[in-house]
Amino acid sequence: MKTKMITYRPNYQRAEKAAYNLLESSKVNALPVKVKKLARRFPNLKIKSYSWFGDKYGMDIDEVCEFADSSEGCCYYKKSEHKYLILYNDTIDNAGRIRWTIAHELGHFILRHNEITDKTIIARNSLSKHEYDAFEKEANCFARTLLAPPKVITALGKIDIPLLSDLCLISIEAASNVLNFINRGFEMGRRHVAKSWAMDLFKDFILEHRYGMKCLECNYYFVLKTVKFCPVCGTEDLTKEKGSNTMIYSQVELNELHTAIQCPRCGNENILGDYCQICGSYLVNMCTGFSEEGVGEPYQGHWHELDNGCGELLSGDARFCTKCGSTSTFYELGILKNWKDEKENMKLREELPF
């Protein structure tokens, strides 16, 4: 009687889910993904370079490549101890390629390919062509999802190959393949769900990438969806940029209604309305409609009745309205100081010998 051979087919959904599960459980919230750091979670897995392996066992790089049956890397399984060793060729002059190799071999480990096949190394000469190709496709799917998660990449908006390569620290070739995969998916009707854990974890990263701005006048970095003027100095000299603050200016912590959580004048924490019931300070930061020339001249009316401005509610660092460039209530009240004065004070403090 003839035995029917079972054909292993690549399970892309399983590979993709495994990569997303690893990102989620590791609470990864930004790109590039630190793939070696993820691997530290597994006590039975080590990642070492070909050079390390060669030094340890007296081999040159060519001999290590022959041992691994690959010039890129391998996932070595010691069944008797249930331990794994991922090896990668550190002599390759392409950091993006090396990262992809490590992620690919991590895919073999996570998906238990060595255990499924009972092979020490997933190598072309130890498996049928069909099996080898299937496992390689799964490992590549895992690597792609881990290093360039489609749910995150699509949420970043318009993106090209060089930018994707820089964001994910992958090779130009890999970035091209990732974008082709995503675009083909769109053509076939595949949509990556916007509401997911990935969006929650990567929310700040996505917002910074899409809406990060830097002021060329005061060097302030901020993230706002719609902005025309710098909130700190009021200039329109802004450039789109993802990064971090090189200048930290004072600000007031606000709630979702743009009201101070604690009175910036007297420190009262029991806030009951738009005015501090202890010192009477107005606690909402909004556009006044006034120009900077009049800052310091006391406003005689009630701030909540002011209809001079554009009505924009502002962040806790805003001296100026990001929509029309007028001053903010906190700047008019002297709660937030002029950025030049703050910068000068910072400089003086840095120059103190103690």
pTM score of the predicted model: 0.82
Of 200, 230, 258, which marks where a domain is finished?
200
Are residues 349 and 220 both part of a single domain?
A: yes
**φ and ψ at residue 50, rounded to 5 degrees:** -60, -40
DSSP secondary structure letter of residue 47: E
How many Å is the maximal CA-CA distance in the chain?
A: 100
304 belongs to a structural domain: yes
Task: Give the model's pLDDT for residue 83.
Answer: 97
Are residues 141 and 257 both part of a single domain?
A: no
Task: Give the model's pLDDT for residue 205.
Answer: 93
Residue 274 belongs to what domain range? 212-354
Residues in the chain: 354
51 belongs to a structural domain: yes
Which residues, in sequence order, are CB contacts of 151 under 8 Å at separation 6+? Answer: 20, 192, 193, 196, 198, 199
Strand, coil or helix: 313 = strand
CB 245 within 8 A of CB 268: no
- What's the rounded Cα separation, in Å, for the pair 37 and 2? 48
224 belongs to a structural domain: yes
- The residues facing 328 across adjacent strands are 287
Residue 155: CA count within 13 A, CB half-sphere:
25
207 belongs to a structural domain: no
Burial of 99 (0-12, 13-18, 19+ CB in 10 A): buried
CB 220 within 8 A of CB 247: yes
341 belongs to a structural domain: yes
Low-confidence ranges of the chain (pLDDT < 70): 1-7, 192-196, 243-246, 294-296, 348-354
Q: What is the DSSP string of 332-352?
A: HTTSS--HHHHHHHHHHHHH-
Are residues 182 and 251 both part of a single domain?
A: no
Q: What is the number of structural domains in the chain?
A: 2
Task: Give the model's pLDDT for residue 138.
Answer: 98
Of 200, 233, 253, which marks where a domain is finished?
200
Task: Give the model's pLDDT for residue 352.
Answer: 56
**Identity (one letter) of the amino acid at 118?**
D
Locate tokens 């238990």: which residue?
112
Task: Give the model's pLDDT for residue 353.
Answer: 56
Task: Give the model's pLDDT for residue 195.
Answer: 59
Segment 153-201, tens digit of pLDDT: 999 988 999 999 999 999 999 999 999 999 998 888 777 665 567 778 9
Are residues 61 and 178 both part of a single domain?
A: yes
Are residues 193 and 316 both part of a single domain?
A: no
Are residues 181 and 320 both part of a single domain?
A: no
Are residues 125 and 20 both part of a single domain?
A: yes
Are residues 22 and 164 both part of a single domain?
A: yes
